[in-house]
Structure 1
Amino acid sequence: MKIAIVEDDINMRKSLEIAMSDYKEFEIKTFKNAKDALKSLDDTYDLVITDINMPGMDGIEFVKTLNGKFEVIIMTGNATLQRAIESIHLGVKDFLLKPFDVETLVAAIKRESEVQSAKKKVVGKTTKKKNSGFLGTSKVLEGVLNIATKAAKTDASILLLGQSGVGKEVFANYIHENSPRIKKPFIAINMAAIPENLIESELFGFEKGAFTDASEAKAGQFELAQGGTLFLDEIGEMPYGVQAKLLRALQEKEVRRLGSSKSIKIDIRVVSATNANLIEKIKNGEFREDLYYRLNTIPLHIPPLKERKDEILQIAESMCEINCKKYDFTLKSFTEDAKETLLSYDWPGNIRELISVVERAVILSEGLEISSEELFLQNRIN
């Protein structure tokens, strides 16, 4: 297992190098800051362990930049509840408080290794193609993926359309991984998750002194995605005033940080997504028509889970296995009644809801078989 450790404190870094050298099953590479790590991280790494408080790019910003490409364990000596919550929202699996003994760290690494092994196993079962992130397959899905694969080979802008929870970010990542830009960054940003007054600085960056709290310069998401793919999720939630600046950036292929008079050339591919009706938003004066056509070169409609019935049991069984590994349970399975219930339910929350239901059932079920009642869906079936 190849592991990157990012720690700015030289004493801590060297201590970890020495302590971890006793574990021959781990290949350890250390970095003194996040920017150095980003230059070297590639697909050969299995796990990233990082401090939070570091000069330049801190651990939270580092995890945001990694954008789910690597599993992450965070270590820190002065954690706050807010920092812990923020890291969990970013998908961080373990949060270790300094000082800790090396056995605690090794135990966290081994837990992560078991979960990764389970994921690789179930993904291998469900697909032979490079369908990264998809835990099931169906004729409907393969049809959409066929279009996505063709579009991925080009630099055309793609607009992913579909209900919440259908896996739009998984599709965006699939497009990136099947494109010529695969070795460059994949950066995802959710418009709905960023306060309106921060979206512009998050996208385009800012110079030191650009506003009151700008104590140092910061690169925006466009710069961080240089050479790769920028995924703009919930694009319909972008403030109208920022839309014009986004359009200019896409047309001119350059951005300008807040507080700067200098433009920076960019070479990125944009994939955007929405579950909103953009045509209605255009009619209501909430979305720019010219931006819509710039983003919508290739529209890709992702069907809801209820139209992809063949995937339901595949996803459920895969997530059951993953969660049993995650919580160190004996492998569980679904009864025939439970399978019928899963197939009968309408899944208004789509794949996201299915994943949540399965995790809950794995945790709360009493025996090795998950019954229909233990899915807690009986009163919600249409």
Structure 2
Amino acid sequence: MNIVIVEDDINMRKSLEIALGEYEELKIKSYKSAIEALKKMSDDTDLIITDINMPGMDGLEFIKTLDGKFDIIIMTGNATLNKAIESVRLGVKDFLTKPFDVETLYEAIKRVKILKEKIPANFKKQNNKNLETKNDFFATSPALQKSLDMAKKAAMTDVSIMLTGESGVGKELFANFIHKNSPRKDKPFVALNMAAIPENLIESELFGFEKGAFTDAQAQKKGQFEIADGGTLFLDEIGEMPVNLQPKLLRVIQEREITRLGATKSTKIDVRILCATNANLQNSIKDGKFREDLFYRLNTIPILIPPLRDRKEEILPIAKRVLENSCLEFGFESKQFSKEAETELEEYEFPGNIRELISVVQRAAIMSEGAKISAQDLFLEARKKKDTSEIQKEILQDIIKSVNGNLKEACEILDISEDKLKTKLQKYNIKVGI
């Protein structure tokens, strides 16, 4: 089993490398940063064990960049509920809090290995995003139907649409739905996640480059705008676009032309732009991280996609479709949920929304032994312990207490902005003494 360790602390990194090297079936490689790992690790990697808090690119950014290609175990000395939940949403297999002994880590590795062995050798790995886009809408809830009706009306025009909603609600699926119901349906649909691209590569990815534009530019390359010409370009996590590139995007919208890096002439394009975010861009505007004029150009028609907990009647139809698809993909005999499992699914809040539901069902399909999936096969009890408001409040109170009410220090521990921290304090009615 080929394992990659990503850890900036050299003592920790070398200790893990030596300790895991004692197990003959494990082949270990280690890197001091996520950036180094992205450059050097091979495609035959079976498992990545990564820290969260690292300079340059943190663990969660690293995982988003990998886009579901590898199995992941997270280790951290600064565990927070938010990061644990976010890691679950991203499909992380395990979340270990430092300090831990090597046996604990080895047991986590074995669990990943068992999952891999249960998947047939002829199974072509699909990530969550691919499965998401295969599933049609089950618009049985008034909340989702309202959003779909707005999307259908907006699809017939060329105006910019901003899709908002929590992580995992299916914003790319919505964008694809708009494209398929538009006059551009026979032209390309191109999706780009701003959060999954290293900041220094976003410009060349969007606009392309000429041969010789920079050291590694061995040949001309079209950007995503040119690739989407005539069709639709979906920019997910638009709030992650660097401020210095936002004027260039605004110019593209206004002038309908792009200039490749290193080019002397511009190229005309005909692209409809759809955007999505789970962040509050109004706050980003106040913080100087997002241009107000660009926001209003992109936000002509805002469409809010409701979270899965507000569409409870859709959980079982979606889960059954995902289970059916998963059994076909994995080469398993047909499986069904038991009544107890169906009840568990309907009662669970799904903080990770559709993406988490897909992950839960896929795991159950692999781990269950018979034709019936039991409530225990869903592992929802363990997840419930991670997403209750009371636990979030307790952890937040403990952090505030540990830093003696210093909001700046609390922000560093939680890895969030001061505005977001104040919102959480207000939500849980936590008072901080002056």
Q: What's the TM-score, normalizing by structure 2?
A: 0.59
Q: Distance in 2 between matches of 1:223 and 1:203?
A: 8
Give the aligned residue type for 1:222.
F
Q: What residue number does 1:193 align with? A: 196
Give the aligned residue type for 1:81.
S
Runs of 4+ in 1 over 6 A off after TM superposition: 83-86
Q: Distance in 1 between matches of 2:280 and 2:123?
A: 42
Give the aligned residue type for 1:169.
E
Say whether the 8 Å CA contact 1:208–1:216 is kept in structure 2.
yes
Give a deviation string over 1:184-230, Cα, whole Å, max 9, x none: 11011111111111111111111111111111111111111100000
Give the aligned residue type for 2:208.
G
1:177 equivalent among 168, 176, 180: 180
Q: Distance in 2 between matches of 1:277 and 1:154?
A: 26
Task: Name the SS of the counterpart of 1:340 in structure 2.
Answer: helix
Q: What residue number does 1:366 align with? A: 369
2:138 equivalent among 120, 136, 139: 136
Q: Distance in 2 between matches of 1:144 and 1:197?
A: 35
Give a deviation string over 1:304-361, Cα, whole Å, max 9, x none: 0000111100011111111111222221111111111101111000000000000100
Superposed displacement of residue 154, structure 1 = 0.2
Unpaired stretches in structure 1, ≥5 consecutive residues: 1-79, 93-107, 116-121, 124-130
2:207 equivalent among 201, 204, 208: 204
Q: What residue number does 1:321 align with? A: 324
Q: What residue number does 1:250 align with? A: 253
Say whether the 8 Å CA contact 1:135–1:318 is kept in structure 2.
no
Task: Name the SS of the counterpart of 2:191 in structure 1.
Answer: strand
Task: Name the SS of the counterpart of 2:166 in structure 1.
Answer: coil
Q: What residue number does 1:81 align with? A: 42
Give a deviation string over 1:150-207, Cα, whole Å, max 9, x none: 0000000000000000000000000000000011110111111111111111111111
Distance 1:316 1:191, change over 3 A: same
Q: Distance in 2 between matches of 1:212 and 1:342?
A: 52
Q: Distance in 2 between matches of 1:133 and 1:373?
A: 25
Q: What residue number does 2:334 align with? A: 331
Give the aligned residue type for 2:178.
I
Aligned alpha-carbon RMSD (Å)? 2.7
Q: Distance in 2 between matches of 1:154 and 1:345?
A: 38
Unpaired stretches in structure 2, ≥5 consecutive residues: 1-40, 47-63, 71-119, 389-434
Say whether the 8 Å CA contact 1:138–1:310 is kept in structure 2.
yes
Q: What residue number does 2:170 align with? A: 167
Give the aligned residue type for 1:221.
Q
Distance 1:160 1:218, change over 3 A: same
Matched, 1:277 2:280: yes
Distance 1:193 1:379, change over 3 A: closer
Say whether the 8 Å CA contact 2:135–2:322 is kept in structure 1.
no
Superposed displacement of residue 136, structure 1 = 2.4
Aligned counterparts, 1:7-86, within 5 A: 81-82=42-43
Q: Distance in 1 between matches of 2:68 and 2:383?
A: 30
Matched, 1:351 2:354: yes
Q: What residue number does 1:309 align with? A: 312
Q: What residue number does 1:100 align with? A: none
Task: Name the SS of the counterpart of 2:192 in structure 1.
Answer: strand
Q: What residue number does 1:233 align with? A: 236
Say whether the 8 Å CA contact 1:282–1:288 is kept in structure 2.
yes
Q: Distance in 1 between matches of 2:201 and 2:381?
A: 43
Q: What's the TM-score, normalizing by structure 1?
A: 0.67
Q: What residue number does 1:213 align with? A: 216
Superposed displacement of residue 89, structure 1 = 4.6
Q: What residue number does 1:40 align with? A: none
